[in-house]
Amino acid sequence: MTEPLLSVRDLVVEFPTRRGVLRALDGVSFDIAPGEVLGMVGESGAGKSITGAAIIGLIEPPGRIVSGEVRLAGERIDNLPPEAMRRIRGKRIGMVFQDPLTSLNPLYTVARQLVETIRAHLDMSEKEARAHAVGLLDRVGIPAAARRIDDYPHHFSGGMRQRVVIALALAAEPELVIADEPTTALDVSVQSQIIDVLKEICAERGAAVMLITHDMGVIAETADRVAVLYAGRMAEIGPVSDVILKARHPYTSGLMASIPTLVQNTDRLVQIPGTMPRLNAIPSGCAFNLRCEHAFDKCMTDRPPLLDVAPRHAAACWLVEEETQNDG
Amino acid sequence: MSETKTPGRLYRMWDSDIAYSFRKSPLAIVSGIVALVIVLAAVFAPWIAPTNPYDPSSLNLMDGFSRPMEPNAFTGNTFLLGADNQGRDVLSTILYGARISLFVGFSAVLFAMILGITAGLLAGYRGGWVDALLMRIADVQLSFPSILIALLIFGVARGFIPPSQRETMAIWVLIIAIGLSDWVQFARVVRGATMVEKGKEYVQAARVIGVHPVRILLRHILPNVMGPVLVIGTIGLALAIIAEATLSFLGVGVPPTQPSLGTLIRIGQQYLFSGEWWILLFPAMTLLALALAVNLLGDWLRDALNPRLR
Amino acid sequence: MLAFIIRRVVQSTIVMLVVALVAFALFRFVGDPIGAMVGQETSLEDRDALRTALGLNDPFVIQFGRFIGNAIQGDFGISYRLQQPVMELILQRLPATLELAFISGLAAFVFGVSAGVYTALNRRGTISTSIMAVSLIGVSLPTFLIGILLIWLFAVELQWLPSFGRGDTVELPGGWTTGFLTSSGRQSLILPAITLGLFQMTLIMRLVRAEMLEVLRTDYIKFARARGLSNRAVNFGHALKNTLVPVITITGLQLGAIIAFAIITETVFQWPGVGALFINSVRAVDVPVMAAYLVFIALIFVIINLIVDLLYYAVDPRLRVERSAARH
């Protein structure tokens, strides 16, 4: 098996606040293979964005990584000095944020922002960088790129802006792109276009993608594997079709069941009762135990680790252990 | 289901974010104490001051220029902080002067607040031409520094009031002048907040039920707006105190027979070169302490009420 | 763009007219011009005759028109107190005030922006906290107190600098008297300039700091960091430019405030400028001078506002949307 591009092990991120320390991520582990698209889903506050921020080293103080490792192509990056980390950002890991309107500096032209990024990482002259930038814009689907490159961000519509953002994130040819809710702020009609652009341009360059979203539809269409986060912990991870169709964690199956489809003929929407616990009120044992209809004694006291269900498919649930015992 | 009982009201206040922030900030505590001391001293001035410097009959010119804590060569009187050029006890004058400064300051801010809040509520709630007109006036006035406006109002008032009345009216003219120069900030903030609240559902619900607009404004919208108003008010108080001191210093504030801190400083400057430093130093320190304390409190209040910084 | 300019000019003219109205009302209704001109023994009939002769019994509108006509030609009548044409008095003393205002404004801007940027980028640390402390004192200390304390320290105790007046001045062709060309002139400028500028400087510093902290929290700055741009590029290339846009405009508006605050400074230092003239005229209820000063200040403010608006337009591309709205 090839070495994973990104390897996260037992990552713990904490935020000290007045009322105590909040654990935003509590021992999250996963891998991303080169060129793979890993989806990361979960409710608001589950820790998806924090994971992305931790990987690229942009957690806002006073939050910090307390323990765990992040390795890029085998080398640790979570404990690098700021200058070394800066060189990795953009060049080896790129990031796309949610709101294209606020992601771009309104006072500078797109050309200026692109050329600046390109020249910060690649050794090119002004002219070469500009030509490269025009090519990038063209590739992400901006019509008349050579002319529009001199426009300001507010001259573009929402979807076009996000394409510019994607171009910017990929300008220095990173190996991994973290996309944090890239389509949430866009019109529905434009969302799938942007996802396609992202997927194509990354596939072309062999870049892996960590796609953070709460939209399962996007994951189903785009991702190779998917990880489900709950209350700062990983609930389930595996190939997309496996997780969607053969979910083993009750939370995941609850999620899947609650997605309304056009074919169903029901009167009521399915819901998981209760809400995700606040970070300072996570129950002992399994974080999901209060809402789970299959919970039993062990779930209340012991926290389940990720247990293998099948090769490359794991779920953090004691039910898995029960069933393997029953099977074996 | 939690078994603990809800904590008492006092405890909740003590534990609230604002009280916590106050307790944690030594600067706020110190400023609070300083401000309180000065205010109390000023309020109780007639009882704790050794003399009444505003009573011309109690003054003895021979006491003039007495040094602090040294008995006067002519009269034998000793003044704790010295005496000014007319024989007034500097300590008493500071106490009485602070009294006037605080009175003018508070009244002016109160005046500006009432004026500004009313204007802001009206403009925000009614919108339309009322809003446009008020905002035009506000814009124009904002581009002029408040000192200038206060000076102008003072000058105009002076023209209207016959000389005999000028002394008694001076304080009120001062309050109105300073207040009028400062209402705009309140109006702006209240207007903005009113417009925000106006769009919220609870206001619309109240309108649908038929609650009278004034009641909506006072009972529902106003409480939501008080936070920023308090911050501006505290800082406005500091500004008003400084404004009064400045105007008195310039000679267009309180009448010379009722000197406030500003007047004392003005007198003090004249005698700086001849060495009677106490006439300048003590009033200046008092003014500085007061303004600084109020400013710090205002700063702390602003940070404490700002949800984003928490 | 042209429409914008025309609109602003029209607005400015309206403001000037309103101010002129107020000034005229002052002129007309406050105090008694006749009383200031003739002795106490003059009979009532003679006074009334004089009134008609001077046109003071004409309808309001006509008098106002005459006032405006005169004003445009620079004729504001005669000062009650000094018995000289008001315009002459103002012009005589204008250079003193303008030189002072210019130096203090320049110093305030340069030091204010530098200190603001420094304290925004280095939020903790002894230098920052001390700068913030000094700024707090600068805001709490009334201008006149600063001036007096400076005089005490540098003129009385240390005897380094003069304590009042303008020093020796040189008269330039055109009637402008300058203090820049003599050493005593320059020395006399220092203390008043510091006094006048300190308030503005602390204001600018706090503004720049607050604005920059806001900007540093925006998404586009986060995205710039995520692209791996250097700290210099992020802080000075992006953040600073976005910070300065609102700061420059507010500073421009402060220029007007400086001219007004000069009143205080000129009083403290016995500086022979327009401000001192004004305060003396308020004390003596010398209405022509008050009215003229009012109109003058309004004119300066209006011009400054206009320039600032144009500057804003030139710097912020979002305001030029009207042209390019047609593009997409």
Asked whether this complex has an ipTM greater than 0.85, the answer is: no
Greater confidence (A179 vs B35) lies with: A179
Kindly tell me if the per-residue pLDDT of B160 is higher than 80. Answer: no
Which residue do the tokens 């500086």 mark? C271
Kindly tell me if the per-residue pLDDT of C326 is higher than 80. Answer: no
Distance from CA of C172 to the nearest CA of B (A): 31
A215-253 as b/e: b if 16+ CB within 10 A: bbebbbebbbbbbbbbbbbbbbbbbbebbbeebbbbbbb
Average pLDDT over residues A1-11: 84
Average pLDDT over residues B120-125: 82
Kindly tell me if the per-residue pLDDT of A164 is higher than 50. Answer: yes
The answer to the question of residue A326 being in a domain is yes
Kindly tell me if the per-residue pLDDT of B297 is higher than 60. Answer: yes
What radius of gyration, in Å, describes the C-alpha atoms of chain B? Answer: 23
Residue B63 DSSP class: G
pLDDT in tens, C1-24: 677 778 888 888 887 887 777 777
Mean pLDDT of chain A: 86
Identify whether the C-beta of residue B101 lies closer than 8 Å to the C-beta of residue B290: yes
Best mutation target among B143, B149, B300 (most C Cβ atoms within 10 Å) is B143
The answer to the question of residue A106 being in a domain is no
The answer to the question of residue A299 being in a domain is yes
The answer to the question of residue A94 being in a domain is no
pLDDT at position C236, please? Answer: 87
Residue C124 in contact with partner chain A when CB distance is under 8 A: no
The answer to the question of residue A126 being in a domain is no
Kindly tell me if the per-residue pLDDT of C45 is higher than 50. Answer: yes
Kindly tell me if the per-residue pLDDT of C33 is higher than 90. Answer: no
The SS3 of residue C121 is helix
Best mutation target among C18, C97, C145 (most B Cβ atoms within 10 Å) is C145
Distance from CA of C231 to the nearest CA of A (A): 9
Kindly tell me if the per-residue pLDDT of B1 is higher than 50. Answer: no
Size of interface B-C (CB pairs under 8 A): 104
* Residue B10 pLDDT level (bands cut at 50, 70, 90): low
Best mutation target among B144, B252, B276, B294 (most C Cβ atoms within 10 Å) is B144
- Tell me the C-alpha distance between C238 and C224, whole Å: 8
Kindly tell me if the per-residue pLDDT of B12 is higher than 60. Answer: no
Output phi, psi for A40, to 5 deg. -130, 115
The answer to the question of residue A55 being in a domain is no
Best mutation target among A55, A60, A107, A122 (most C Cβ atoms within 10 Å) is A107
Cβ within 8 Å of residue C162, ≥6 positions away: C155, C184, C187, C188, C191
Average pLDDT over residues B258-284: 81
Structure tokens at A222: 């785009």
**CB C226 to CB A99 under 8 A?**
no
pLDDT at position C150, please? Answer: 85
- Tell me the C-alpha distance between A287 and C286, whole Å: 80
Global confidence as pTM: 0.72
Residue C196 in contact with partner chain B when CB distance is under 8 A: no
Q: What percentage of residues in chain C have a pLDDT greater than 70?
A: 88
First and final CA of chain B: distance in angstroms?
A: 29
The answer to the question of residue A173 being in a domain is no
Q: In what order do the strands lie in the sheet with A75-76?
A: A20-32, A6-17, A64-72, A75-76
Instruction: Indicate the residue of A87, A97, A154 with minimum beta-carbon distance to C318.
Output: A154
* Residue B2 pLDDT level (bands cut at 50, 70, 90): very low
The answer to the question of residue A290 being in a domain is yes
**CB C228 to CB A88 under 8 A?**
yes
Number of domains in chain A: 1
Contacts of C225 in chain A (CB under 8 A): 58, 86, 89
C99: nearest Cα among C273, C235, C256 = C273
* Residue C29 pLDDT level (bands cut at 50, 70, 90): low
Greater confidence (C47 vs C141) lies with: C141
Burial (0-12, 13-18, 19+ Cβ within 10 Å), B162? exposed
Structure tokens at B236: 């406005």
* Residue C103 pLDDT level (bands cut at 50, 70, 90): confident
**CB C268 to CB B273 under 8 A?**
no
Kindly tell me if the per-residue pLDDT of C295 is higher than 90. Answer: no
Residue C245 in contact with partner chain A when CB distance is under 8 A: yes
Identify whether the C-beta of residue B225 lies closer than 8 Å to the C-beta of residue B193: yes
Domain that holds residue A292: 249-328
Taking the mean position of all CA atoms in its chain, how far away is CA A208?
11
* Residue A95 pLDDT level (bands cut at 50, 70, 90): very high
* Residue B309 pLDDT level (bands cut at 50, 70, 90): very low
**CB C140 to CB B273 under 8 A?**
no
Contacts of C318 in chain A (CB under 8 A): 106, 152, 154
Query: Which residues between 164 and 203 in chain A have a beta carbon less than 8 angstroms from any beta carbon of chain C?
Result: 165, 168-169, 171-172
Structure tokens at B291: 């303004």
Taking the mean position of all CA atoms in its chain, how far away is CA A2?
22
Q: What percentage of residues in chain B have a pLDDT greater than 70?
A: 81
Greater confidence (C119 vs C155) lies with: C119
Identify whether the C-beta of residue B97 lies closer than 8 Å to the C-beta of residue B264: yes
Distance from CA of B10 to the nearest CA of C (A): 33
Q: Dihedral of the CA atoms A42, A43, A45, A48 (nearest 10)?
A: 20
DSSP annotation string for C190-258: HHHHHHHHHHHHHHHHHHHHHHHHHHHTSHHHHHHHHTT--HHIIIIIIIHHHHHHHHHHHHHHHHHHH
Pairing assessment for the beta strands A64-72 and A233-239 based on DSSP bridges? unpaired
pLDDT at position A176, please? Answer: 92
C143: nearest Cα among B37, A311, B288, B127 = B288
- Tell me the C-alpha distance between A295 and C143, whole Å: 71
**Chain B neighbors (3+ CB pairs < 8 Å):** C
Instruction: Indicate the residue of B144, B151, B245 with minimum beta-carbon distance to C142.
Output: B245
Which of A213-217, B142-146, B267-271, C107-111 is least confident? B142-146
Identify whether the C-beta of residue A140 lies closer than 8 Å to the C-beta of residue A201: yes
Average pLDDT over residues A223-249: 89
Average pLDDT over residues C306-326: 66
Distance from CA of C325 to the nearest CA of B (A): 27
Residue C142 in contact with partner chain B when CB distance is under 8 A: yes
